[in-house]
């Protein structure tokens, strides 16, 4: 029997990178899995890779009404949710003087506002017991130049993991943060850099990691699996750093 047998699970931003790897781990452990994304190409590719073992849903993680619609859609097919991994995120970085209000709003809507209202919308579906995992970032702990808005959004999300865990403890809903360090994912392709510039950036980022390599999506997926499973029933309102030592060494 798998570690998630008979569990209904939702992974936002589940069509590539950490989210996709987590979906694959969850499926391998017996879960019913729904993943979300908004890029038609990655949605189609996720459906191809995951097959009929996953429910692939198109939605915008930064739109409040879309969060309500997502909850309503899930309720049409599933009786409950046992685990939710809120993983969708905007990874935009840049020096302070390059940001404008529209860029700030777009990032915060995806990384903080959307997750807040998705949690609210999913409340009627969340089982007792259930696990909600919020994807933070080691950036919330380090002063990485160019990460000001991104790090602030992730710090806010990690704060929600603590406060909402306290708020819903009596309902059996465990909330925890999962914070990756630098991970080799397709997200780096969204930065708009040339191939050479991107490779230079990856080299610089790797130097921040004490073990001198970037993490893999599967390493983060296995941590998400632990938090989603019954193995973590005593893990509540905390943050699991999976970062190669970046935030502590």
Backbone angles phi, psi at 171, to 5 degrees: -95, 5
Taking the C-alpha atoms of residue 111 and residue 49, their distance in angstroms, rounded to an integer, is 26
Contact 181, 209 (CB under 8 A): yes
**Displacement of CA 66 from its chain's centroid (Å):** 17
Contacts of 196 (CB under 8 A, 6+ apart): none
Catalytic residue list contains 226: no
Contact 67, 117 (CB under 8 A): yes
Backbone angles phi, psi at 13, to 5 degrees: 60, 40
Taking the C-alpha atoms of residue 18 and residue 89, their distance in angstroms, rounded to an integer, is 11
Q: Which residue out of 8, 119, 150, 168 is catalytically annotated?
A: 150
Enter the DSSP assignment of 111.
I
Instruction: Give every strand in the sheet of 239-242, ordered side by side.
Output: 54-58, 32-37, 8-12, 81-86, 126-135, 173-180, 239-242
Query: Does the bond joining 113 to the residue before it have cis omega, within 30 degrees of 0?
Result: no
In angstroms, the Cα distances linking 23 to 88, 95, 165, 216, 245 are 13, 34, 24, 14, 25
Taking the C-alpha atoms of residue 10 and residue 12, their distance in angstroms, rounded to an integer, is 7
Taking the C-alpha atoms of residue 28 and residue 38, their distance in angstroms, rounded to an integer, is 24
Residues marked as catalytic: 150
């Amino acid at each position: 029997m798998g570690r998630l047998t008979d569990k209904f699970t939702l992974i936002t931003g589940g069509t590539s990178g950490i989210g996709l790897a987590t979906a694959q781990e969850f499926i391998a452990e017996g879960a019913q899995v729904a993943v979300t994304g908004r890029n038609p190409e990655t949605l189609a590719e996720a459906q191809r890779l995951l097959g009929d073992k996953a429910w692939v849903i198109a939605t915008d993680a930064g739109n409040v009404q879309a969060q309500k619609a997502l909850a309503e859609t899930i309720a049409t097919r599933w009786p409950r949710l046992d685990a939710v991994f809120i993983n969708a995120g905007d990874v935009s970085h840049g020096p302070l003087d390059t940001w404008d209000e529209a860029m700030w709003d777009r990032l915060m809507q995806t990384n903080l506002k959307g997750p807040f209202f998705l949690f609210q919308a999913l409340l009627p579906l969340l089982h007792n017991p259930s696990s909600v995992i919020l994807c933070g970032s080691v950036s919330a702990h380090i002063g990485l130049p160019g990460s000001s808005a991104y790090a602030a959004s992730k710090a806010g999300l990690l704060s929600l993991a603590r406060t909402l865990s306290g708020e819903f403890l009596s309902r059996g809903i465990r909330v925890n943060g999962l914070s990756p360090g630098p991970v080799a994912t397709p997200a780096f392709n969204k930065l708009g850099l040339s191939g050479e510039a991107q490779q230079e950036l990856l080299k610089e980022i790797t130097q921040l990691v004490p073990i001198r390599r970037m993490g893999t999506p599967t390493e983060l997926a296995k941590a998400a699996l632990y938090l989603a499973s019954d193995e973590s029933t005593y893990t509540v309102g905390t943050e699991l750093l999976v970062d190669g030592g970046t935030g502590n060494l």
